[in-house]
């Protein structure tokens, strides 16, 4: 099992993510130096807060190009919550802002009305069921049983990812009857809108799958 590097750029849930990975048996480093990140074998990009501030921090700390290079070199990357959104091309949160562009797509605000035109409270906070859009995925080992039954995950977000390529979506959840993309995978780039480190046993299985990829 390779050592995992968590990117410390000032806007992440670092300790809980590290504890979750360590519970899966992983060795974990929290990395705040871009030069150190260039040596990473596996990377976790966490994140909470606003997209623009997060990208500003990544740029100022010189993490942006390193992350792109790692992705181009097929290094496994896991994006969590805001970290998932940052992997995409752009976000409309508080204006238009450029993301990492590792995955194609946009980040848009969650709908404030349901399909039935009832008002929905945003942000989306709490436990929601995951609905798989594929029968199985080669990334998953521990969590593949989830494809056969309903599992719940813990969400805290106001914006959602809209992938350009819908084939990378592994699962979605329902928010006011709207389908919200919740897990994506493209080659060794994996991301989830929910917090696996806060999603009990299922979340730990997801993290363990990343540890073993």
Candidate list 124, 172, 197, 211, residue with the active-site label:
197
CA-based nearest residue to 163, from 105, 213, 120, 101: 105
Candidate list 24, 81, 181, 192, residue with the active-site label:
81
Task: Report the distance separating Cα 193 and Cα 83, nearest Å.
Answer: 8
Are the C-beta atoms of 43 and 7 separated by less than 8 Å?
Answer: yes
Torsion 20-199-36-187 (CA) sign: positive
How long, in residues, is the chain?
Answer: 213
Our CA dihedral for 192, 198, 203, 209, rounded to 10 degrees, sits at 70
Task: Report the distance separating Cα 58 and Cα 64, nearest Å.
Answer: 6
Task: Report the distance separating Cα 33 and Cα 2, nearest Å.
Answer: 19
Candidate list 97, 124, 157, 195, residue with the active-site label:
195
The answer to whether 192 is a known catalytic residue is no
The answer to whether 197 is a known catalytic residue is yes
Are the C-beta atoms of 181 and 162 separated by less than 8 Å?
Answer: yes
CA-based nearest residue to 70, from 31, 97, 106: 31
Active-site positions?
A: 81, 195, 197
């Amino acid at each position: 099992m390779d050592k995992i590097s968590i990117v410390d750029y000032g806007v992440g849930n670092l300790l809980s993510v590290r504890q979750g990975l360590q519970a899966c048996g992983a060795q974990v480093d929290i990395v705040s130096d871009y030069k150190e990140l260039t040596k990473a074998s596996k990377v976790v990009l966490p994140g909470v807060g606003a997209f623009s501030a997060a990208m500003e921090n990544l740029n100022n700390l010189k993490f942006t190009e390193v992350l792109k290079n790692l992705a181009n070199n097929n290094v496994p990357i896991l994006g969590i919550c805001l970290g998932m959104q940052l992997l995409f091309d752009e976000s409309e949160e508080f204006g238009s802002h450029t993301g990492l562009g590792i995955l194609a797509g946009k980040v848009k605000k969650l709908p404030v009305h349901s399909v039935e035109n009832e008002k929905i409270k945003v942000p989306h906070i709490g436990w929601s069921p995951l609905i798989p859009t594929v029968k199985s995925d080669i990334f998953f080992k521990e969590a593949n049983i989830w494809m056969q039954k309903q599992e719940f995950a813990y969400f805290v977000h106001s914006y959602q990812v809209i992938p350009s390529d819908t084939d990378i979506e592994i699962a979605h959840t329902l928010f006011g009857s709207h389908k919200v993309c919740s897990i994506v995978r493209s080659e060794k780039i994996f991301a989830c809108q929910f917090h696996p480190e806060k999603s009990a046993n299922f979340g730990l299985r997801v993290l363990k799958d990343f540890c073993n990829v």
